[in-house]
Structure 1
């Protein structure tokens, strides 16, 4: 007899377990609903939100881990919604009983008694608030607790909770009402967002600010009574203004964000190398510059900033204003293939120096020359006879550059550009011919700027690194350190638009090696500059391809180049290049630039 009760208890427990398993199998938890579609997001190098997109179901729902939330928010929600959250198994019978008594006394539903876990269950399977629905919520809560730990359940709640309209999850709510990341919320912000999910349609602050304020203050009063917040904290939070309108979701770096979403469509979170501050500054300067260009019949410009040392993209702006539909602002001018004009000339000179064909003082022929039916001309229509390579590059003369391309032969500019990651050369080399060095091909601003970043690294080419989780890679030296040094020594002497006569004597001005380009017909203007720290590229023109007399690299693009350079951190502190071991001095003939012969 004495063993009868233990046996009965064991049998009952086994039956209950079997029933629970059978019920769980018959009514499985819809786990997929716990992970609804999230808003794709693009982040800067520090994890700050640059741009968010609507989720597939039309909601703003920004996924957040629990450790990415304000501690005040987590503390207030648990203390207000479910004080015993970390102690109960998903259902709190005492809370349900208390709610039943309160509802009977009031003659209507004034309290639900739901735990946070039960609220998660209701969020994935919304039903009218009936006794049967409450039982289903309790059952689902037990299923959830069996599959997830408490921190995971809290995370589910914060990503599912409604915040009014199409705002789902506290990540979207924090940005929409306070313009903040959820980790930056203060006590007053957290109190409002903790109260809002109880009745989001009636207390959303952008439509019902008074009701939202009352809900927040009620929460603060209750939590002060429970000792969760002090009286001064509650009073200070209650005095904060309630946001009366929604803040637009972040849309910085829109061109870069759209490009990366197209490039990596399977990724919901894109952590980039972009620097939010540099991006913002570049966009602001570009906007002002484009406004000035439009007074001269030039509609658009684009800019990129690359960290010369790492090859990381820091900023990319493809037009003066992404949202300016009248000027086709959503076209990404940083990636559009355009004629580079003279911007490729430095690489021909570098290849010639590496092949031993010339040095900076070698005299190059600048006279009328015919290559079959092709006869290049200089920009100004003049010829100078014998010109030192240094001056030919500084003056951007066409004839000497074409002459060097001819001497380089088949292993010249075209295969070099392919090795350097230029993707816009889609035709055979024979289709481009010698005029390639004068802009008879197409490049885009990002890839052209990366060519100059290669010069900034002493000739080492690397692909542009855009995602923060991409592996860091080194690459081959496509140009020798000696030739890269000599090019920098030449290009730093170009006359700058910001300080045309005395930039070397200016204080706190960055030293920059730079080059411009102007395409045939004045359709494109380029300016790319670099030092050890930064590489900046600018393009200006019309997306229609129409030319304009003032579309000249030194006038339409260079001023923005130096405006951006002057704002970059550490740009003026970057040490200039020292001669590498492979760059040595020797005696030369003052007329030909060739090595001096015997006396």
Structure 2
């Protein structure tokens, strides 16, 4: 007896040693397709695994109980009871093979199938013995549901499809939980002969195999006769669906991880992408658009559209991260900072009349002037000269520094000089994501945070302006005249918005805030070429309003405490001495293509630096003029900077001969 016990102990010790020395190889189960989900676990986008295989991790919780029941009665009725090997099934299979002279039924359990899926081998007696050993190993190491999960992840479904979730998405366009009994039965049948039963190639064979599974399920009491009759009457659909590709530009950033949960809402994202495609169809064939939707409460991304697909539209680019000129879209942030610093108040009087600022003479979009207005009116009407006066009083360097601290650093033309007054009118580069984050600060409490899109991450907020200042700017923008086509449910005071149009009609912007969400929209050509007639109000605002219409009713915008009192000025600032001046070309000049242009400045401290569209051009640094050869027709920005950092710029057009 003692010897028998010792022998058993030695056998067990040897088995444990072998198990540790030769553990199951789970590398195939770990080599998964990258998957990005929404905040509720709904699949947004997937990316193929190595070799172009679609293989998504699938657990018992990912499939309906009816599927598991059908699978087990079809493949391994005693799965829950046996230790990985079913002696009765093996004996039956051996006897049938001996009687018929060929394999009639398989003796493999689900666990043995998993062993074969993990480590594919030729079908030989040795391979079967190894599968049996591996099956016992798996049963010792893992629970029954975990073993089922391995099968659900690795089972072949024809072509480059592996696993139940991948097959369900590709064959039916829905996850397994959304399938009916006929579809579930087909998924049970396919792994038996995945190539011969592919429904997109052999629908009749697939239907026959499915019906056999349904009959087995009926006989086992898994499905009722009525359910089986209805399922068998359902034709097999042969179409192959594209794998999910929602929020693709955001998803591709996370493609390296097996499964990443985001803060996106899948239904909203799908609606946004349909809306984006509809709006893009009305644009120039080379134009595109981008949209960011944030939740104000936690600054998480609710929906994200980097671009509408299309080769001519450069649809692979994530245009929410493209650096573009915001035009007037950043004026609210300038006014907010000036209010917060006490430089001005909404009631401060500003003269909207012709004026030069060290040689810089801004004009309004309509080339006219309004006269004396309050700061609130100037912001609401998006007047340019008052905005420059505010920047002059607050300081362009202070404005740029505040934007940098807020996580939206303006991309200025490369030069040694500091920022000039054109920053008031969007004379720099920014991204839509940054602009939307800043707008969200005005929507709520004046704090700003980089948008968060990974579930579980927390936005790190920092103070941009006070809650009172944010409320003051929000109230000003909410009192704007509703644009044509604004749905009544969005009329003031339900949303506040600001538009922007960059010089040369290259970029159209719209930023809007409600009590619950902030929406940022950009429209333009990805290559930066002009789109004549495009403006923020005409092109971007309609899209912004339709995006808001996709969101729940936000209610009214929150009230804000009043700003502390500050002395109002009858007229903001006085002109400084006229130093550096751009003599030629003047603002808005129209030049003929083909001829060299002599750029000429007056005043200022030499040496001078000349820039065209932010790029330095060769010039005699101690002269006040230089030659420039335009590259062709189009819009250009000519800038001259002196040794003291003063700068003057003019926008010109080179026309075709």
Q: Would you say same fold, with TM above 0.5?
A: yes
CA distance in 2, matches of 1:409, 1:437: 10
Going from structure 1 to structure 2, the CA distance change for 1:225 and 1:393 (only over 3 Å counts) comes to same
Pair 1:509–1:15, CA change in 2 (3 A): same
Which residue of the partner structure matches residue 450 of structure 1? Answer: 437
CA distance in 2, matches of 1:587, 1:371: 24
Find the counterpart in structure 2 of residue 545 from structure 1. 528
Distance 1:10 1:41 in 2: 51
Trace 1:56-455 onto structure 2 (pairs within 5 A).
56-261=50-255, 265=256, 267-294=257-284, 299-319=287-307, 321-322=308-309, 324-409=310-395, 412-423=398-409, 425=411, 430-455=417-442
Q: Report the Cα distance in structure 2 between the residues aligned to 1:245 and 1:81, rounded to whole angstroms.
A: 27
Q: Is the 8 A contact 1:123 1:160 kept in 2?
A: yes
Q: Tell me the distance in 1 between the aligned counterparts of 2:268 and 2:377.
A: 34
**Structure 1 CA distance, aligned partners of 2:232 and 2:377?**
70
Q: Distance in 2 between matches of 1:515 and 1:179?
A: 40
TM-superposed deviation, 1:567: 2.4
Superposition deviation, residue 370 in structure 1? 3.1
Matched, 1:577 2:558: yes
1:521-548 CA-partner distances (Å, limit 9, x unpaired):
1111111111111211111111121112
Residue aligning to 1:13: 8
Q: Distance in 2 between matches of 1:212 and 1:40?
A: 29
3-state SS in 1 of match to 2:424: helix
Aligned equivalent of 2:471, options 479, 485, 499:
485
Deviations 1:556-590 (A, max 9, x none): 1111111211221123xx2222231x43689989x
Decide whether aligned partners of structure 1 residues 183 and 140 sit closer, same or farther in structure 2, where only a CA change above 3 A counts: same
Q: Which has the higher strand share?
A: 2
C-alpha separation in 2, matches of 1:445 and 1:507: 25
How far did residue 499 of structure 1 move? 4.5
Q: What SS does the corresponding residue of 1:200 show, helix, strand or coil?
A: coil
How many residue pairs are counted as aligned between the two chains? 571
Query: What SS does the aligned partner of 2:312 have?
Result: helix
The alignment yields a C-alpha RMSD, in angstroms, of 2.4
Report the Cα offset of residue 411 of structure 1.
6.2
Question: TM (normalized to structure 1)?
Answer: 0.90
1:562 matched residue in structure 2:
545
Q: Describe the superposition over 1:393-437 as per-residue Cα deviations: whole angstroms up to 9, x where unpaired.
A: 122111211121122137621111112111564778944322112
Asked whether the 8 Å contact 2:313–2:525 carries over to 1, the reply is no
Deviations 1:424-466 (A, max 9, x none): 6477894432211211111111110111111001312122121
Contact 2:334 2:424 in 1 (8 A): yes
Distance (whole Å) between structure 2 residues aligned to residue 333 and residue 114 of structure 1: 53
- Give the secondary structure class of the aligned counterpart of 1:50: strand
Moved more, 152-161 or 414-423: 414-423
SS in 2 for 1:202: coil
- Using the TM superposition, give the Cα deviation of residue 159 of structure 1 relative to its aligned residue in structure 2, in angstroms: 0.6
SS at match of 1:133: helix
SS in 1 for 2:289: strand
Question: Does 445-454 or 374-383 show the bigger shift?
Answer: 374-383
Q: Secondary structure of 1:257's match?
A: helix
Q: Cα distance 1:125–1:458, how it changes in 2: closer, same or farther (>3 A)?
A: closer
State how 1:449-528 maps to structure 2 within 5 Å: 449-471=436-458, 473=459, 475-499=461-485, 506=488, 509=491, 511-528=494-511
Once the two structures are TM-superposed, the CA of residue 72 in structure 1 deviates from its matched residue by 1.3
| Contact 1:37–1:57 (CA under 8 A) maintained in structure 2 | no
How much has 1:17 moved relative to structure 2? 2.6
Aligned to 2:643: none
TM-score w.r.t. length of structure 2: 0.82
The 8 Å contact of residues 286 and 312 in structure 2, kept in 1 or not, is answered as no
Once the two structures are TM-superposed, the CA of residue 59 in structure 1 deviates from its matched residue by: 0.5
List runs of 5+ in structure 1 lacking aligned partners: 1-5, 595-599
Between 66-75 and 52-61, the greater mean CA deviation after superposition: 66-75
Distance of aligned partners of 1:232 and 1:385 in 2 relative to their CA distance in 1, 3 Å threshold? closer
For 1:57 and 1:588, how far apart are their aligned partners in 2? 69
1:325 counterpart SS class:
coil
Cα drift, residue 385 of structure 1: 3.8
Contact 1:40 1:55 in 2 (8 A): yes
Distance of aligned partners of 1:429 and 1:153 in 2 relative to their CA distance in 1, 3 Å threshold: farther
Q: Distance in 2 between matches of 1:293 and 1:382?
A: 29
Q: CA deviation at 1:19?
A: 4.5
Structure 1 residue aligned with 2:616: none
Q: Could you say which structure has the higher helix fraction? A: 1
**Structure 1: distance between partners of 2:286 and 2:174:** 37
Q: 1:423 to 1:47 in 2, by over 3 A?
A: farther
Cα distance in 1 for partners of 2:397, 2:340 equals 12
SS in 2 for 1:536: strand
Corresponding residue SS for 2:50: coil
CA separation in 2, counterparts of 1:133 and 1:115? 14
> For each residue in 1:192-213, what CA deviation from the matched residue of structure 2 results, as whole angstroms up to 9, or x when unmatched?
1112111111112111111111
Cα gap change, 1:523/1:431 in structure 2, threshold over 3 Å: closer, same or farther?
A: farther
Alpha-carbon contact 1:29-1:144 (below 8 Å) kept = no
How far residue 232 of structure 1 moved from its aligned partner, in angstroms, is 2.0
Contact 1:72/1:186 (CA < 8 Å) preserved in 2? Answer: no
* Aligned-residue offset at 1:156: 0.8
Per the alignment, residue 597 of structure 1 pairs with none
| Contact residue 343 and residue 515 of structure 1 kept, 8 A | yes
SS of match in other structure, 1:42: strand
